[in-house]
Each structure stands twice: as C-alpha cells, then as structure tokens.
C-alpha cells in the first residue's frame, strides 16, 4: 500500500524566533515536513523553485513591509506558482489586513494566537485549497468580505495612472503639486481626479481617498 505523501510547508516570516517556532511545531507532525524557511520575500522566491514536491503550502507572515511586502509576495507566488497553496499568517491582524491577503490570492488566514491544534488542522485544510480562517472572530467575516469588495472596486475600476494619482493625492498635495510630482499638466490631474470620483461613485477627493484607504490601497499622509 502506497502511503500518502506528507504535506510540505515553506515557512516565510521576518522574525527568526517566530519562524523557528512555527517550523518546529509543523515539523513535529508526522504528516508534515518543513521544506524551507525564509526571512524575506526574496528568500522565499529563491527557495520555492527548488522544491520538487507536490502537496506544498507556503505560509506567509503578514509582517513584511516595504515595496516587497506580504501582499506583494502572496500575489507573486500566486501568479508564478499557481499550483501551490498559500496561506497568510499573522498575530492580531485586523479585518483589512486579512481581506488584503485574501484579495492578493491567499487561500486563507491563520492567526498565530490560535490554538495549536486548530492552527495545524486549518493548515492541512488550506493546503487542499479550502478557504480557511483560523482565529478571526465570526463577527469579522462581514468586514473581511466588504474589504475584498472595496479593493476589487478600486483595483478593477481605476487605471494604473488613476491609482497613482489617488495615491499621491492621499499625501495631501494640491492638483498642481501632484502634476509636478508626476510630470504632467495640472489640467491632466484634475481630469484624472474627476474620472476617479465618477468611477468610485463619490463626489469629493476626501471620499475617494477614504474608500481607497479602507481598501488598503493608499495610506493617508504617507509619501511613496
């Protein structure tokens, strides 16, 4: 009788102690193997192509920041390695962070404060492609779903240039300052803003920025 192949897990977390703890807990299970550990998005993307196994799940911490943050990594893995299961993982994450991870392509989310048994069971289920949410309270489900829809609205409705204008506008710059930053005419910026308001169904810049902020696409007052 052929035994079932064990689940291979790639643990990606910026904190060495947390990464090691997760790896020890997972590797201790008779039906799981830790195939690689990575402390950066780049290390993860270098490790994944070397894995020659099926039944592999990438456990990605939501603690990565910067240009190559957790959401960028999740989307990159989903785009380049569609056969892999990807689960977001975090401690005390809010509904917005979870919805961003799911929108980016994660198959689910595991809270590090979950009971270890629930955490591992959810990891197994998520590896099969099942949508799992281990840890978040049930009352968050509506907010998580709304966050996904808001992000889908902004990302699929606006062009790349319009999203760029909105991100710069969130810094509190005037239309003239936005034009100077992007190297375009002020009239072009005001045209973009008008189209943004129309597409998002809002009447002011504040409302547009609030919607984009709720979707996790811009940070108010934070320069690029």
Domain positions in the chain are: 7-140, 158-214
Mean pLDDT of 22-47: 95
The residue among 70 and 5 whose pLDDT is bigger is 70
The residue among 223 and 191 whose pLDDT is bigger is 191
What CATH homologous superfamily does 7-140 map to?
Answer: Response regulator (3.40.50.2300)
What is the value of pTM for the model shown? 0.72
Residue 6 CA to residue 144 CA, distance in Å, equals 32
Given this model, what pLDDT does residue 207 score?
Answer: 85
Residue 30 phi, psi dihedral angles, 5° rounding: -70, -20
Share of the chain above pLDDT 70, in %: 94
Query: Has residue 112 got a pLDDT over 50?
Result: yes
Mean pLDDT of 98-112: 89
Helix axes 160-169, 186-200, angle to 10 degrees: 100
CATH topology of domain 158-214: Arc Repressor Mutant, subunit A (1.10.10)
Residue 189 CA to residue 169 CA, distance in Å, equals 10
């Amino acid at each position: 009788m052929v035994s079932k192949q064990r689940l291979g897990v790639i643990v990606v977390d910026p904190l060495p102690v947390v990464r090691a703890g997760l790896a020890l807990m997972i590797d201790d299970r008779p039906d799981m193997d830790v195939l690689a550990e990575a402390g950066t998005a780049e290390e993860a993307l270098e490790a994944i192509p070397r894995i020659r196994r099926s039944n592999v799940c990438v456990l990605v911490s939501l603690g990565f920041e910067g240009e190559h943050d957790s959401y960028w990594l999740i989307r990159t893995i989903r785009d380049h390695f569609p056969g892999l299961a990807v689960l977001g993982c975090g401690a005390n994450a809010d509904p917005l962070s979870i919805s961003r991870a799911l929108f980016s392509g994660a198959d689910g989310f595991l809270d590090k404060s979950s009971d270890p048994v629930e955490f591992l069971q959810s990891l197994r289920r998520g590896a099969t492609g099942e949508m799992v949410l281990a840890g978040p309270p049930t009352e968050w489900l509506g907010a998580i779903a709304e966050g996904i829809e808001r992000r889908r609205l902004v990302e699929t409705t606006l062009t790349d240039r319009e999203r760029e204008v909105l991100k710069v506008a969130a810094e509190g710059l005037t239309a003239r300052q936005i034009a100077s930053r992007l190297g375009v005419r002020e009239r072009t910026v005001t045209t973009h803003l008008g189209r943004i308001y129309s597409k998002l169904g809002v009447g002011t810049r504040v409302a547009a920025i609030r919607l984009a902020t709720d979707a996790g696409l811009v940070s108010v007052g934070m320069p690029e």
